Structure formats: structure tokens, C-alpha cells
Amino acid sequence: QPKPVLTGKKILITAGPTREMIDPVRFFSNRSSGKMGYALAEMASKLGADVTLVTGPVDIIPPQGVDLVEVTSAEEMFEQVINRFEKYDVIIKSAAVADYRPSQTFTKKMKKHEGTLMLELERTQDILRTLGKRKSNQYLVGFAAETNNIEEYARVKLESKNADMIVANNVTSEGAGFGTDTNIVTLFKRGGYKRELPLNSKKEIAKEILIEVANSLKEEGYK
């Protein structure tokens, strides 16, 4: 049984992919299974935190004792997170949120025609960036799914999104990133801090991330 280092903390975690509907039967999405976010929710609860899990559509049984908020699109995730974040001490954004959605969602199933089809995509709102702008005393953890220049992009995300920690995974490494039961991540914090967590189960990685968060809360004088 791990030490309850997060007792008394309220933690909001996002997990899974989002779905951006093209018509009633088709959508854009990504390969997130939700395993990383669900592992974080389960571990945070075991470490004593009061956990809310805002989740896109996944195939995992939710951990017991966690408050579950189910969403489908990036817009719904944005609303659910932004409307409730002020009540939390820590927010962890492990969801793989769509950056674009179809500019128009057709109400009837699209019919096929000869030739090519052009679909226009528009940007979704960036939840992490909005949290970074609006946060007061919340500790904000973002993820970065990268295929190259990991450290550079992670540090840019830390600064530009005003996060307190970025968990970077190289999604091209074997055993890391989308869908797998394992991950390999590097934690980046302000002031040049960097810590590598080698290949391990997503549950163990989740535990290490959460202990790191608990230490940061203590060291950096959060209430």
C-alpha cells in the first residue's frame, strides 16, 4: 500500500481521445486508449486524493471511488474542465484532445459521389492553454506526445501553456505512448528540471508522476 501523499488534494484528470463528428456515423479521432489517464486516476485515488476523471470514449472499466465525467468531443471536454477546474488543487491533462474538428457536422449521413471530397477543418480550443491563462493556485500538468525534438517541444509547452510540469512521451518508442500497457516518459518542470522514467507499466509511471506532483506541491509551497 503506497503512502497516501495526496490526502486532502482534489485532482482533476482527463483521459482518452475525443471524437469530432463528421456526420451521425463518422468521426475523426486518435489512437488514445485512455490507459495512461485511467492509471493516473486509479493511482491518485490510492494515494489519497479526491479524483474526478473527465474521459473521452474508451473501453476501460473506471476505477472505483473516482467521480466520472464522460464526454465525446473536444468542445465538451473543454466545457467540463473549464467549468469545474477552480475547485481543484491539481489538474492533469493526459487526454489526447483533437486539435481540429470538421467546420461543419452534417445532420444526415453523407452520400458518396464521384471524385474527391474536400472537408474543411477548424481549430478546437486548447484546454491546457486556457487553464494556464486562468489558473490561480492550481498545479497544472500537461502531457506532450511527440515523435521528435522531445525536450525542445516539451520546454516550449511548459512555457507557452504556463504549465507547472510536462510529461513528455516519445510516441515512436517501442512500449511507449498510445494503446500500450507501458510507457516511457520524461518529466520537465520549470527551472530546467528534468527526470527520465524508463519503461514501466502505466500504473507505475502514474505513481511516479503523482509522487513527483506531491513533492512539488510541498516544495513550492502550495496550500
Gap between the Cα atoms of 199 and 51, Å rounded: 26
Nearer to ligand PMT, 9 or 93 (CB): 93
Does 143 sit near ligand PMT (CB under 6 A)?
yes
Known binder of ligand: residue 109?
Answer: yes
124 near ligand PMT, judged by CB under 6 A:
yes
Least Cα distance to 143 among 35, 222, 223 occurs for 35
What distance in Å separates the CA atoms of residue 131 and residue 11, rounded to the nearest whole number?
14
First to last CA, the chain: 25
Applying CB under 6 A, does 80 fall inside the site for ligand PMT?
no
Which of 169, 203, 213, 214 is in the footprint of ligand PMT by CB under 6 A?
169
Question: What are the C-alpha distances in Å from 179 to residues 17, 93, 104, 175, 214?
Answer: 11, 17, 29, 9, 27
Per CB under 6 A, does 101 bind ligand PMT?
A: no
Binding segment for ligand PMT (CB under 6 A), chosen from 46-54, 132-140, 141-149, 188-196, is: 141-149
Find out whether 99 is annotated in a ligand binding site: yes
Distance separating alpha carbons of residues 199 and 220, to the nearest angstrom: 28
Give the count of residues interacting with ligand PMT (CB under 6 A): 26
Name residue, grid cell 510529461: 167
Helix 74-84 crosses helix 127-134 at what angle (to 10 degrees)? 20
DSSP H or E segment with residue 200: strand 194-201
Closest separation in Å from C-beta 147 to ligand PMT = 10
Minimum Å gap between C-beta 33 and ligand PMT is 3
Q: What is the DSSP letter of 95?
A: S
Q: Which of 35, 46, 203, 207 binds ligand PMT (CB under 6 A)?
A: 35
Q: At closest approach, how far in Å is the CB of 164 from ligand PMT? A: 12
Place of cell 507505475: 204
Is 157 annotated to bind a ligand? Reply is yes
Pick the stretch among 96-104, 105-113, 190-198, 215-223 that binds ligand PMT (CB under 6 A). 96-104
Is residue 30 annotated as a catalytic residue, yes or no? yes
Active site residues: 30
| Interface with ligand PMT (CB under 6 A) | 16, 32-36, 74, 93-97, 99, 124, 126-128, 142-145, 169, 171, 177-179
